[in-house]
Amino acid sequence: MAGIADFLDSLIGGFDLICYSLLMGGVFWGLFVLKPWQKDNNYNIELLNKTISLIYKGGFLLAAAQFFKIVLKVWLMTALLGRWPFPEFADTTQFIGGIIRTFFSILIAAYVYGILRNNAFSQKHWLIAIVVSLPLLISGAWLVHAAGRFDNRALLMTLTVFHQLGAAAWVGGVFQLGNVWILHKRQLISTDNWPFLLRNFSKFGMISVGFILVSGFPIAFQYIDSWDGLVGTGYGNLLMVKVVLLGLALGLAWLNRSAMLAFFRTRQTAALFGRVPHYVEAETLVLVILLFTAASLASQPPAIDISSLTASWQEVVNTFAPQIPQTTSPSHVALIAGEAGRVAIIDQVPSLAATEWSNYNHNIAGIFLTVMSFFAMLSYSHKLPFTKYWPLGFVGLGIFLFFRSDAETWPLGPIGFWESTFNNGEVLQHRIATLLVLVLGLFELTARITKNPDSKLPFVFPVLAAFGGLMLLTHSHVGFQAKSAFLIQVGHTTMGIFALILSCGRWLELKLDKPGKEIAGFTSVAALFLIGIVLMFYREPLY
């Protein structure tokens, strides 16, 4: 079960950041965007109740997530060390800091639930919420990875806390915007609340982003000391992914702001009430994935510490170089014969068969996706009806992956299905990815042939594509040297970004009217095509 513990341990970091954003971003939203104590803003109690409910739910969930992190560490260490980790674990910063942070999370959540909820229009009580949250903010500093470092420890801890606060303010604010739109659609709040709060949040959002950048740059310069470190390490690569995702989110935020400004200039409602809510949905998706990427970044060694294991930019570019796809596979017998030498510690022998097996898997998957995206593009012409069945390719791809992903496990290898799935985090990821691809194909195929115009099935595709993108952005390959692992990671993270574009594009295609609908749809299919191209040219290092 160590595989599951490892898997859960790494996902809880992103979930923790989401809860933290709901809590702290919600408090900032109340203080700087909502300002419910001002008399002329036309808010009703429904809006205040829902706003505050998101905040305390975030707080209680944060406490649960923090406590669960400790439980997972105990579980993981018991599995890895083969013994109960106490009493030693009780003396660690992680245990003490984790318990303290759990307590302070409950404290602020209880204050919001018990006191602020009953005094929602009082400025004093919102200000007290900030004071009550201070111990939580400060205690969090001992749980960031800067806490374990020797150089500039206090500075890095402080900057990380401010960086997280800036992100929480932005993401939490976007969550609250989504909440306002839901209330608006249910006609539970005044119509003018939506444009008014969008305008208020627009200014606050820009300040939050400024905060993220001002605190983020010094951290980046502390952990990455060269261009090679940025381009040629896992840490630098995930930082660049964060920058790209930040750019995507800012692009959507800019569309929101433009529509909001146009509304106040012209009083035309089409964009503000027709498009902006869906931009907010897409922005939420991008920001949530950004938080998970940020959590994943913390598990990477900083570039400054692994200068001897850094890849050159030429090596990085070479991983994307066009090559003839490998369409023949080594035999399963040859692969298994090389496994003992490949996984040995002493007298390790790299396995050419393993490398070629993996290249074949990736390249064939790339051919699947490229052909599918080609038919998907053709389907938009509406002249070739059979092309609407292009999602069937996902079913074929899923079956292919099931047999080929982990050759040492069932059905091809000697390790049983359940044993391999639950004891190896990487196999577990592959199993989930296979299931995901199969489900994706079946749902999308059904969605495209259904005659029901109100069917919600089309939305499954963008949701699962985002899920797949997240897997790619955080995909791990255990057992490689750091540089080899990075050269594999860089291809996966590139595809992860394209998968996210695919997801957002398809979501907006389903939600928007023309011409935005068509632009988003084309962008989505183009992203699928690019994923196929990256996979077709994939080459794994010999290991």
Cβ distance to other proteins smaller for residue 326 or 489 = 489
We find the least distance from the C-beta atom of residue 250 to other proteins, in angstroms, to be 20
We find the least distance from the C-beta atom of residue 432 to other proteins, in angstroms, to be 7
Preceding peptide of 515 cis, ω within 30°: yes
Per residue, the 3-state secondary structure of 394-445, as one string, reads HHHHHHHHHHHCCCCECCCCCECHHHHHHHCHHHHHHHHHHHHHHHHHHHHH
CA distance 304 to 53: 43
Structure tokens at 289: 């994935």
Cβ distance to other proteins smaller for residue 364 or 470 = 470
Q: Which amino acid is at 287?
A: L
We find the least distance from the C-beta atom of residue 151 to other proteins, in angstroms, to be 9
Cβ distance to other proteins smaller for residue 214 or 435 = 435
CA distance 118 to 126: 11
CA distance 304 to 190: 53
C-beta separation of 284 from 174 below 8 A: yes
Cβ distance to other proteins smaller for residue 139 or 474 = 474
Whose structure tokens read 């996984």? 343
We find the least distance from the C-beta atom of residue 45 to other proteins, in angstroms, to be 18
We find the least distance from the C-beta atom of residue 296 to other proteins, in angstroms, to be 6
Q: Which amino acid is at 11?
A: L
We find the least distance from the C-beta atom of residue 144 to other proteins, in angstroms, to be 7
CA distance 191 to 424: 52
Q: List C-alpha distances in Å: 310 to 240, 319, 361, 481, 540.
A: 15, 15, 27, 11, 17
Cβ distance to other proteins smaller for residue 35 or 149 = 149
Q: List C-alpha distances in Å: 479 to 78, 180, 529.
A: 21, 47, 30
Structure tokens at 432: 């989930």
Residue 124 burial (CB < 10 Å; 0-12/13-18/19+)? exposed
We find the least distance from the C-beta atom of residue 145 to other proteins, in angstroms, to be 4
Cβ distance to other proteins smaller for residue 37 or 543 = 543
Cβ distance to other proteins smaller for residue 17 or 536 = 17
Cβ distance to other proteins smaller for residue 321 or 478 = 478
We find the least distance from the C-beta atom of residue 40 to other proteins, in angstroms, to be 27
